[in-house]
Structures are given as C-alpha cells and as structure tokens.
Amino acid sequence: MLPGATAASGADSRRSLLIGATVASRLVTVLFATHAAYLDHLAGPRHPERPERLQAVLDGVQLAGLGDAIEPLVPVAATRGDLERVHPVEYLDRIEGICAAGGGRLDPDTYASSGSWHAATLAAGAGLAAVRALQDGRADAAFCAVRPPGHHATTNESMGFCFVNNVAVAAAALAAQGERVLIFDYDAHHGNGTQAVFYDDPRVLFVSVHQWPLYPGTGHYSETGEGAGRGHTINIPLPPGATGDVYLHAFDQLVAPAAAKFQPTWVIISAGFDAHRNDPITELGLAAGDYAPLTRRVLSLVPAGRRLVMLEGGYDLEALTFSSATVLRELADVAGAPIEHATSGGPGMAAVAQVVDHWVRDGLL
C-alpha cells in the first residue's frame, strides 16, 4: 500500500490497484518515494495524465526485481517557503483556492480537482525529502514517482498538466545551499518551465532533449540562457523518430563537455518516458532499453548520494512500466538483460551536429 493510504480514504477504488505493489523496507541503495494522495489529483475523464500511471511505475518497481536495494521514502508536503523559491505567493494562492473550491480548469491543458493541491505539494515535497535523505547518507540515489508532473510550470503559469515545478523546487533548494545542479530533462516535451526558472541562473545547468516540433513550441537550440546564465541552458531538439543512438551522441558531443566545464555537484533527472516509441502523444523512437545507457551517462556526472530522478510524463502504461524499471536498475547499478533492446538508426544526427556547431560558433563549448 502506498504511504498515506487508509481504509477510510475517499479513493479506495483507485488505491486498491496498489495492493501487493509494496517495496522492500530495508535500506540498501535506492530510495523510492511516492504517496497515495497522488491518486487524488484527477485531471478529467480520458485525460492521458491519469492515476493509473502511478500503478504502472509501481509495476516497474516489481519488474526491476531489486528487492532490498529499494527503500521506501514517505514524502512530506513542501512548505510555502519551499515553493516560494520558485513560485510567487499570488500564483500559489490561486491554485490552492481553486482546489479548495472543488477544482476547475487552470489553463487550456491543466485541470485541478479538490485533491490536486495536496498532491502537488507532496510531489514537490518528495524531491526535497529525497534530497535530505541522500544528504543524510541513507542511500546512493532516489526515484520519486510523483504526480502531477512539473516541468512545464513556469514561475507564474501552469501549463501542460503541471502545477508546481517539482524539479525546480528541489534544484532551487540545493542551489540555495551552494550546490551546482545539473538538471537533465529527457521528457519528449521541452521543459519550458524549468528553463524559464533558471534561464539567468549560473548555479543550474539545464539540459533538455526533446522532440521538435512539439508542444509547447519552445526549446530551440539558440535558447542558451541569458545574463549570468548564458551557456547554462542546453536545448537539443530532435526530429520525430529519433532513436537512442542519437541521444547518446548528443550527450557525448555536447552535454559531457559542458558538464565538465560546469562541474555539477548534484544531478536531477526530469524523467519523462514519453519519448518511448509507443507513447500516444509523441513521435520519438526510443525503447525502454535506451534509458539505461542514457541514464548511466547522466548519473556518472556526480558521485553516488547526489542523484535524484523525478517522474514527469509518459502516457503508455506498459512503456512507463518498462522504462521506470530500467531506470531503477541503473540507479541501483544492477546489470541484467534489457527489458527492451536499445534502438538505433533513426534520424537526428544532423540535428545534433547543428546544435553542436551553434555552441562552438557562439564560443560556449
């Protein structure tokens, strides 16, 4: 049963899906944070960002087969002070008020239910709780299975199913402690909200690999940051059908040298799994096996104990199960046969070359 689930809960019919999906209780390597209250965020009938996504990730925990390498972590709701590092008071008050009144539409893409505010504060709080636990030496890495997702939320605008920018809240807290944070976003959609939060901030290196063109229409390779943050935003837009070898080439040619220059002390992955070839709302060509070498490369940028993964998108349930299991195995540094084989041969190498050329010509690489 998920943390926070009770027999008297108002969402028993949905929480019953999670019986039997528990994880081991003894600390070894990877913290796994989730909460039953995430099921109380309801985006509307037939909406792709649905509660069943959480069950798909829990199925991934079981499929990963890590046993005692997984330790449950119970999220605690982020405080207003935590959230206000990223979002202004007026914005937070508006969302909380709409939820308290029973819910309603925040923007054309994003609907709140009565339980959405509590879920959103727990989603942001999961990252903060994971950071604290990692700093205390409780594990080597953490995976936060949260909803609603966050990477489209700007400081003062909800977008694309997102309310609070969960990754930005965690990164802002770390930056306030003097850490240098690399955020790697491999969701198929550009993480426009995260980019906007840190666009002029040299403490954070934001990297987004995403489909182009696709919602929200941002993330051109010429968007590289401004002011003190110039050169601290890396956008790698890829064409439909791009495969895993293209992602790895982009990492090796651009992200790795930029990271060597930045010298991050923490890595946060915005883990959207909608770049999978079976996702119903995108057109990229990845399989679950592609997330293994890509995640491994990103994690290698910082020592163990400074690695945080937070769920973003991913709307095919089987793909979500396979992909989350693959990433959990990487976090635990467990080798094994791939759940799905990695892909190669798709388009995108020319797009990567164009991005690298732009960075070289601008003197940023």
Which domains are present in the chain? Answer: 12-361 (3.40.800.20)
Dmax (CA) of the chain: 61
Residue whose structure tokens are 């993330």: 219
Residue 28 has pLDDT above 80, yes or no: no
Q: Tell me the per-residue pLDDT of 295-325, one tens digit each, with 9 for 90 and over.
A: 999 999 999 999 999 999 999 999 999 999 9
The 3 state secondary structure assigned to 156-186 is CCCECCECCCHHHHHHHHHHHCCCCEEEEEC
Residue whose structure tokens are 């959207």: 272
Q: Tell me the per-residue pLDDT of 186-235, one tens digit each, with 9 for 90 and over.
A: 999 999 999 999 999 999 999 999 999 999 999 999 999 999 999 999 99
Q: Which stretch of DSSP H or E encloses residue 54?
A: helix 52-64
Residue whose structure tokens are 């923490």: 266
Residue whose structure tokens are 């999961």: 126
Residue whose structure tokens are 């005692």: 68
Length of the chain equals 365
- Threshold 0.85, pTM exceeds: yes
What SS3 state is found at 283?
coil
> DSSP of 249-298, one letter per residue?
HHIIIIIHHHHHHH--SEEEEEE--TTBTT-TT----B-GGGHHHHHHHH
Written as one letter, the residue type at 39 is L
Residue 23 has pLDDT above 60, yes or no: no
Residue 150 has what pLDDT? 98
Options 151, 152, 190, 232, the catalytic residue: 152
Instruction: Name the nearest CA neighbour of 35 among 151, 99, 128, 126.
Output: 126
Is residue 152 among the annotated active site residues?
A: yes
**Counting runs of H as helices and runs of E as strands, what totals does the chain give?**
12, 10
CA distance linking residue 330 with residue 141, whole number of Å: 10
| Mean pLDDT in residue range 148-176 | 98
Percent of the chain predicted with pLDDT > 70:
93
